[in-house]
Amino acid sequence: MATKDLSEYNPELVPDASGMKFGIVVAEWNPEITMALAKGATDTLLKHGAAESNIKIKYVPGSFELPLGAQLFAEHDNVDAIIVLGCVIQGETRHFDFICQGVTQGIMDLNLKYDKPFIFGLLTTGNQQQALDRAGGKHGNKGDEAAVTAIKMVHLKNNF
Ligand code: DLZ
């Protein structure tokens, strides 16, 4: 099965992001990956017109802390959307499953609780190379995809 290029999208279908405010929460585990995701997300938001002053970044220790970091943004800042970025790499134990499940459910719950887009930019890979491939490597950058999704969802909400 071909893997989608995460950085490939039709720019004509991306609304103007000027005036939109974004929070980005980045997990510090696997920093080589997550900082590349953060750069991808930020560059893409800027490319579509977001002001630098309207993009705020906070850091949490690991992916498991992403839902709370995102909730704090929703409660203490007037951002229009929150992007969470992390990378969980499968190890020998079931830790991977529990973290992925917790983050996935946590982010979904926040979307519905706050009536605001919380964008799921979590890489869940079998090894480091697969993560690098999706953090600016041969399969693009998941941060780009998350940023485009955030812009589209804010636009959707603003136009209901
Ligand atoms: C403990 C742990 C492990 C083993 N692996 C990862 C990982 O691959 N990616 C990641 O973002 N975080 C990992 N963590 C840390 C947990 O997310 C969390 O920070 C700790 O369990 C403390 O709550």
The answer to whether the CB of 102 falls within 8 A of the CB of 45 is no
Q: Kindly list the structural domains of the chain, giving each domain's residue range(s) and its CATH number in brackets, ordered by start.
A: 21-158 (3.40.50.960)
Task: Dump pLDDT digits (tens) for 78-119.
Answer: 999 999 999 999 987 888 999 999 999 999 999 999 999 999
> How far does the centroid of ligand 1 lie from the alpha carbon of residue 83, in Å?
18
Ligand 1 pocket mutation pick from 88, 94, 132 by most atoms within 8 angstroms of CB:
88
Residue 2 clears pLDDT 70, i.e. is over it: no
> How far does the centroid of ligand 1 lie from the alpha carbon of residue 64, in Å?
6
Q: List the single range of 71-75, 95-99, 141-145 with lowest mean pLDDT.
A: 95-99
Q: Considering only CA atoms, which residue is closest to atom 9 of ligand 1?
A: 88
Crossing angle for the helix pair 95-114 and 66-76, nearest 10 degrees? 20
In this prediction, residues 139-160 reach a mean pLDDT of 98
Q: No. of H helices and E strands in the chain? A: 5, 6
What 8-state DSSP symbol labels residue 44? H
Please tell me the pTM assigned to this model: 0.97
